[in-house]
C-alpha cells in the first residue's frame, strides 16, 4: 500500500506515474469559475479537550427533546423507548454488518431482517414484507411504481390526506417514467368519495391513501377500497404502525399494498432521519416487491436457515428491466423497529396506542376551550388533530419555544389554503401536566397578544 507523498519530489513522482504534469490537471473537468482559490477560513486546531468542550457548546444551542416538550408530529414522532433497546441495537455484530450476500456467514443479520419482515406482516395483516426501504415517502413511491407495473396503467391517484411531502416524492419518482399523479380532494378531512369516483378510470393504476391521514383524521377505508377495486386498480394504504394496534389492519380492509414510516418504532427523531420505510403486500404481488426479501429455508441436514430470495428481478442482473433502483435496506433502523416490537409485545403496543389516543383527545378538549382555537374537522382522529388558530402559528411557535415547548406543525408551510392551521400531536410520551402547561402557556400568550 503506497503512502501519501509529503515532499515535492514524491509529488512529482506520483504525477509522472499517472501521466500528468500538475495537480491542477486533476481538476480540469471542473469549470474555472466554480473552483475555490485561496485558503479556507478555518480556525486553528484544538486539543481533544478543547474540541469536546466546543462541540458541547454548539450542541447546547439545539432544542432537544430531553429539555423541550414536543407537540409536533406530521410524520416524525416523539415516543417512549425501552432502555434496553439501545444496548441491544448497539451490539457490534449488528452495527458493523453491511450486506448479507454470503448466507453461510450472515445468518444472524439475515434472521434479524426476517424477524422484521414477519413483524410487519403481523402488523399489516398482509402476506409478505420486504427488508425495509429508505423511508415512508419512498415506500409510497415504490408502491406507486408497483401498481403501475402490475396494472399496466399510467396514473396514480393520491388522496389529499396523504402527507404533502410524500406526494411530492411520489411525483418525483413517477415523472421521469412518463407516469402521472392526480390528487383527489378531501371533504371535511376525509377523501371525497364523489371526487374519487370521478377520477377512477381505465388509466388509474390505483390509489394511495393515508390512515390516519396527514391531518389526523381517520379515513373511511372500506368503501374507498371497494371503489378502487371495482375500477380495476390497486388499493395502497400508508399507515402509522403504532395505530395498527387499535385500528383495523390494511389486510383487514383488503388493501393490496401497505406502506409506512417505521420511525415511531423505537427510532428517535432526528434532523431528517435516518428513517426506515416498510412495505407489505399480498402474495400475488411478491415479484413486484422492490428491495431485499429474506426467506427461511432448511439446509441438507434439515436445520433452519435464512437466505436472500427473489433477487433476480432487479439489482444483480437484468437491471434494465428493474422497476426499482432500491438495492439496499435500512438494516439497523429495521432492527431497531423489530427489537422495539419484541420488547413491548402485542399488549404493550396496544397500551401505547390507547394512551396516545386518550391523551390526544384530552389535549384536544382542553385546547378547544381556549378562545381562538377551533377544530377544523369533526372527523374522528387517533393521536393528531388540526386546529384553526386566530394568530400566526409560526409566530406563536416562536413564543412557545421560549417556554421550552415545541408547538403544533404550521400547515401553511405546505399549502396557503391551510393558513393559520396547526397540526397538534400527542403521543404516550406526553403527561397530563405537560398538556395542561401547554394550554396554560397558550392562554397566557394569547392574552398578552390582546393587551
- Of the chain, the percentage scoring pLDDT greater than 70 comes to 94
Do 113 and 171 fall into the same domain? yes
Do 126 and 171 fall into the same domain? yes
Do 397 and 420 fall into the same domain? yes
313 inside domain: yes
Which of 22-36, 251-265, 336-350 is predicted with the least confidence, judged by mean pLDDT?
22-36
What pLDDT shows up at residue 318? Answer: 64
What pLDDT shows up at residue 120? Answer: 98
Confidence of residue 347 (pLDDT cuts 50, 70, 90): very high
Do 228 and 241 fall into the same domain? yes
Whole-angstrom CA distances from 330 to 128, 235, 373, 381 are 17, 25, 40, 30
Do 405 and 329 fall into the same domain? no
Per-residue pLDDT tens digits for 393-409:
999 999 999 999 999 99
Higher pLDDT, 62 or 326: 62
Last residue of a domain, one of 340, 371, 388: 340
What pLDDT shows up at residue 1? Answer: 41
> CATH number, domain at 231?
3.40.640.10
What value does the mean pLDDT take over residues 317-334?
A: 75
What pLDDT shows up at residue 309? Answer: 86
Do 148 and 265 fall into the same domain? yes
Q: For residue 179, what are the domain limits?
A: 84-340
128 inside domain: yes
Task: Using alpha carbons, select from 84, 126, 381 the residue that is nearest to residue 247.
Answer: 381
Q: Which of 12-16, 87-91, 257-261, 323-327 has the highest mean pLDDT?
A: 257-261
50 inside domain: no
What value does the mean pLDDT take over residues 344-352?
A: 98
187 inside domain: yes
Task: Using alpha carbons, select from 36, 31, 279 the residue that is nearest to residue 146.
Answer: 279
Higher pLDDT, 317 or 58: 58
- What CA–CA distance (Å, rounded) separates 111 from 122? 16
What pLDDT shows up at residue 2? Answer: 45
280 inside domain: yes
Matching residue, cell 419484541: 342
What value does the mean pLDDT take over residues 170-197?
A: 96
Do 131 and 240 fall into the same domain? yes
What value does the mean pLDDT take over residues 145-173?
A: 97
Do 306 and 243 fall into the same domain? yes
Do 319 and 360 fall into the same domain? no
- What CA–CA distance (Å, rounded) separates 410 from 423? 7
The whole-chain average pLDDT of the chain stands at: 92
β-strand partners of 211: 239
What pLDDT shows up at residue 311? Answer: 64
User: Number of folded domains in the chain?
Assistant: 3
Do 333 and 367 fall into the same domain? no
Do 146 and 278 fall into the same domain? yes
Confidence of residue 4 (pLDDT cuts 50, 70, 90): low
Higher pLDDT, 198 or 28: 198
57 inside domain: no
Question: Can you spell out the DSSP letters for 169-235?
Answer: HHHHHHGGGT-EEEEEPEETTEE-HHHHHHH-STTEEEEEEEES-TTSBPP-HHHHHHHHHHTT-EE
Last residue of a domain, one of 340, 368, 385: 340
- What CA–CA distance (Å, rounded) separates 21 from 37? 20
Cβ atoms of 94 and 330 closer than 8 Å: no
Which of 88-92, 174-178, 447-451 is predicted with the least confidence, judged by mean pLDDT?
447-451
Per-residue pLDDT tens digits for 75-106:
999 999 999 999 999 888 787 766 777 888 88
Run of H or E including 365: helix 331-368
What pLDDT shows up at residue 449? Answer: 62
> CATH number, domain at 414?
3.90.1150.10
Amino acid at each position: 500500500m503506497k503512502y501519501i507523498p509529503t515532499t515535492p519530489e514524491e509529488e512529482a513522482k506520483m504525477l509522472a506515474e499517472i501521466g500528468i504534469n500538475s495537480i491542477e490537471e486533476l481538476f480540469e473537468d471542473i469549470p474555472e469559475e466554480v473552483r475555490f482559490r485561496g485558503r479556507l477560513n478555518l480556525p486553528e486546531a484544538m486539543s481533544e479537550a478543547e474540541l469536546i468542550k466546543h462541540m458541547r457548546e454548539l450542541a447546547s444551542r439545539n432544542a432537544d427533546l430531553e429539555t423541550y416538550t414536543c407537540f409536533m408530529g406530521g410524520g416524525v414522532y416523539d415516543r417512549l423507548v425501552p432502555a434496553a433497546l439501545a444496548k441491544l441495537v448497539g451490539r457490534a455484530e449488528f452495527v458493523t454488518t453491511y450486506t448479507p450476500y454470503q448466507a453461510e456467514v450472515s445468518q444472524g443479520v439475515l434472521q434479524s431482517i426476517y424477524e422484521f419482515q414477519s413483524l410487519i406482516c403481523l402488523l399489516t395483516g398482509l402476506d409478505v414484507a420486504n427488508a425495509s426501504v429508505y423511508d415512508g415517502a419512498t415506500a409510497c413511491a415504490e408502491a406507486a411504481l408497483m401498481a403501475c407495473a402490475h396494472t399496466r396503467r399510467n396514473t396514480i391517484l393520491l388522496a389529499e390526506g396523504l402527507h404533502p411531502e410524500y406526494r411530492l416524492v411520489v411525483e418525483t419518482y413517477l415523472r421521469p417514467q412518463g407516469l402521472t399523479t392526480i390528487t383527489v380532494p378531501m371533504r371535511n378531512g376525509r377523501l371525497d368519495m364523489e371526487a374519487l369516483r370521478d377520477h377512477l378510470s381505465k388509466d388509474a393504476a390505483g390509489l394511495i391513501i393515508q390512515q390516519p391521514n396527514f391531518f389526523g383524521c381517520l379515513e373511511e377505508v372500506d368503501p374507498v377500497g371497494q371503489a378502487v377495486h371495482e375500477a380495476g386498480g390497486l388499493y395502497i394504504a400508508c399507515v402509522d404502525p403504532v395505530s395498527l394496534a387499535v385500528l383495523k389492519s390494511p389486510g383487514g380492509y383488503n388493501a393490496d399494498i401497505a406502506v409506512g414510516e417505521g420511525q415511531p418504532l423505537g427510532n428517535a427523531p432526528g434532523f431528517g432521519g435516518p428513517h426506515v420505510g416498510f412495505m407489505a403486500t399480498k402474495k400475488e404481488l411478491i415479484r413486484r416487491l422492490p428491495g431485499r426479501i429474506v426467506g427461511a429455508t432448511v439446509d441438507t441436514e434439515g436445520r433452519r436457515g435464512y437466505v436472500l430470495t427473489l433477487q433476480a428481478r432487479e439489482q444483480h442482473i437484468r437491471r434494465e428491466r428493474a422497476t426499482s433502483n432500491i438495492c439496499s435496506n435500512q438494516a439497523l433502523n429495521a432492527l431497531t423497529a423489530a427489537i422495539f416490537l419484541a420488547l413491548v409485545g402485542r399488549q404493550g403496543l396496544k397500551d401505547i396506542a390507547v394512551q396516545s389516543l386518550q391523551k390526544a383527545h384530552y389535549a384536544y378538549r382542553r385546547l378547544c376551550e381556549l378562545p381562538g382555537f377551533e377544530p377544523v374537522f369533526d372527523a374522528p382522529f387517533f393521536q393528531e388533530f388540526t386546529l384553526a388558530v386566530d394568530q400566526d402559528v409560526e409566530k406563536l411557535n416562536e413564543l412557545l419555544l421560549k417556554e421550552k415547548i415545541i408547538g403544533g406543525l404550521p400547515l401553511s408551510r405546505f399549502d396557503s389554503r391551510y393558513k393559520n392551521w396547526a397540526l397538534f400531536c400527542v403521543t404516550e410520551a406526553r403527561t397530563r401536566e405537560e398538556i395542561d402547561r401547554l394550554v396554560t402557556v397558550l392562554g397566557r400568550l394569547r392574552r398578552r397578544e390582546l393587551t
